[in-house]
Structure 1
Amino acid sequence: MELFESSTLGLWKESLSSYSSRIELLNKPDLVSLDEFYRHQLPPLLRQRNPNPFITTSELSDLMRWKLSRGKWRPRLLDFVSSLDDSVVKSASEKAFRSLPDISKAISELTVLKGVGPATASAVLAAYAPDVAPFMSDEAMVAALGNSKDYTLKQYLLFANKLQEKAKELSAEGETFTPSDVERALWSCTVGAKLSSQKVQDPKSDTSKSSKRKRKR
């Protein structure tokens, strides 16, 4: 059974708890530190800017690096975002955060920025309000909707609704699961399966190297 179809809390907790180790196993430059920034440093930075929270161009650039490193690398998007004027980014993000919990309006406020589509906008919102807006990752899109080809606002709203419903279902069992937790668990599950498949197919995996070393002793 696919994880998204499962209601077994233990499976979800296991997948979510494996997230950090799978980030490390991807072995991509700076991804571990970027993920640390995105999940643990950026959220409190955004929330402490009361009464009008906002994101800076520098923070948005690091968020974009995180998004591209965890998924598909598209350098032009990073170039666009890094060249945005700080006052424009601040204004757009202030309006977006003020719009929540209206996800549709919040995404629309952010996608006026060059290089920021619904997926990047969702990552900004997820950093600020993980209990409302999940990040629109390819892996979670495929798990929840069956494909990851349609990066429109309409598709994101459908995706967000499904992850919100799953979070409520899992939280009803005594645990607190946010839509962002659901996204990370789905990403972790998909990446874990890919990494396992690659290890089985690769005859030069760590296991085979280890056994050769043992034979030499």
Structure 2
Amino acid sequence: MDFQCLNRSVWKEALSSYSARIVSLNKPQLVSLDDFYCNQLPALIRQRNPNPYITTSELSKLMQWKLTRGKWRPRLLDFVSSLDEALVKSASQKAFQSLPDISKAISELTVLKGVGPATASALLAAYAPDVAPFMSDEAMVAALGNSKDYTLKQYLVFADKLQNKARELSVEGDSYTPSDVERALWSSAVGTKLLDSLPNSEPKVNTKRKRKQ
């Protein structure tokens, strides 16, 4: 799906297919991890008023979700899982209190070992999906043309683009958050990969049959 696409039905279809795309990846635990990230974690964070925060075990599970949905990098999980509980609580409280200043919020979180702008963005997106989108490779490629630069500066450009797209799509009764836009872009990219993999396998099968004959 082209990021510049103005057809709202295309965006709506991509977003509504998100859960099915998660299932289609056939990755162990991804369905339950995605349910935790999308549904359980936001509620857990928000109920800790007046100063919301995240625990080390929750941050570890968020990292599992991020790595399972994307590229698996076990060292990051090791770093995050061994973080001091008080440090995680303090950093996340400061980050949430910094919003809607995304730059400051990301900076508060990246003091934690193993937490870069992408992981920090995932945490902010869980707490404030209307402000901060997750910095996924698929959405980065769609919005910016590449996913190589994981800096704060690049994230701010990315977030601004998705915020603008969410506003553009939120008309005629439809309401989109920057996180909705990210999920739609991710879903579309995964769907395209699935479709591309189907035709590629058929010629191989046909070629083998011809050789046998």
Which AA in structure 1 matches 2:102? I
Asked if structure 2 preserves the Cα contact closer than 8 Å seen for 1:55 and 1:93, the reply is yes
Match for 1:13: what amino acid?
A: K
- Three-state SS of the structure 1 residue aligned to 2:130 is coil
Task: Find the aligned partners of 2:170 and 2:202 in 1 and give their Cα distance.
Answer: 42
How is 1:42-121 mapped onto 2 (pairs within 5 angstroms)?
42-121=41-120
Structure 1's consecutive aligned runs of 4 or more residues displaced over 6 angstroms after TM superposition are none
> How do residues 31-42 of structure 1 correspond to structure 2 at under 5 angstroms?
31-42=30-41
Q: Distance in 2 between matches of 1:89 and 1:131?
A: 23
Aligned residue type for 2:9: G
Deviations 1:30-80 (A, max 9, x none): 000000000000001101100000000000000000000000000000000
Q: CA shift at 1:201, angstroms?
A: 1.5
Q: Distance in 1 between matches of 2:2 and 2:169?
A: 12
Amino acid in the other structure paired with 2:161: K
Structure 1: distance between partners of 2:48 and 2:26: 34
CA–CA distance in structure 2, aligned partners of residues 202 and 56 of structure 1: 45
Other-structure match for 1:213: none
Q: CA deviation at 1:173?
A: 3.4
What RMSD in Å do the two structures reach over aligned CA positions? 1.4
Please list the CA deviations of residues 3-38 of structure 1 after superposition, one character each: whole Å capped at 9, or x if unmatched.
311111100000000000010000011000000000
What's the offset of the Cα at 1:198? 1.0
The Cα shift of 1:199 comes to: 1.9
What is residue 199 of structure 2 aligned with on the other side? 200
Pairwise mapping of residues 166-205 of structure 1 onto structure 2 (< 5 A)? 166-203=165-202
Give the Å deviation of 1:174.
2.4
Q: TM-score, normalised by structure 2?
A: 0.94
Task: For structure 2, list consecutive stretches of 5 or more residues without a partner in the other structure.
Answer: 206-213
Distance in structure 1 (CA, Å) of the matches to 2:65 and 2:40: 13
The Cα shift of 1:203 comes to: 3.7
State the partner residue of 1:211. none
Contact 1:3 1:11 in 2 (8 A): no
- Matched with 2:142 is 143
Q: Secondary structure at the match of 2:138?
A: helix
Aligned-pair CA distance for 1:202: 2.1
Corresponding residue of 2:209:
none
Q: Is the 8 A contact 1:139 1:186 kept in 2?
A: yes
Per the normalisation by structure 1, the TM-score is 0.92
C-alpha contact (below 8 Å) 1:99/1:106 kept by paired residues: yes
Residue 214 (structure 1) aligns with: none
Question: Counterpart amino acid of 1:174?
Answer: G
**Following TM superposition, by how much is the alpha carbon of 1:108 offset from its aligned partner in structure 2, in angstroms?**
0.1
The reply to whether residue 161 of structure 1 matches residue 187 of structure 2 is: no
In 1, Cα distance between the equivalents of 2:110 and 2:19?
Answer: 29
Gaps of 5+ in 1: 209-217
Q: Identity, % of aligned pairs? A: 75
Work out the CA distance in 2 between the residues paired with 1:26 and 1:202.
17
Q: Which residue of 2 aligns with 1:15?
A: 14
Q: Which residue of 2 aligns with 1:212?
A: none
- Give the letter for the 1:33 counterpart: S
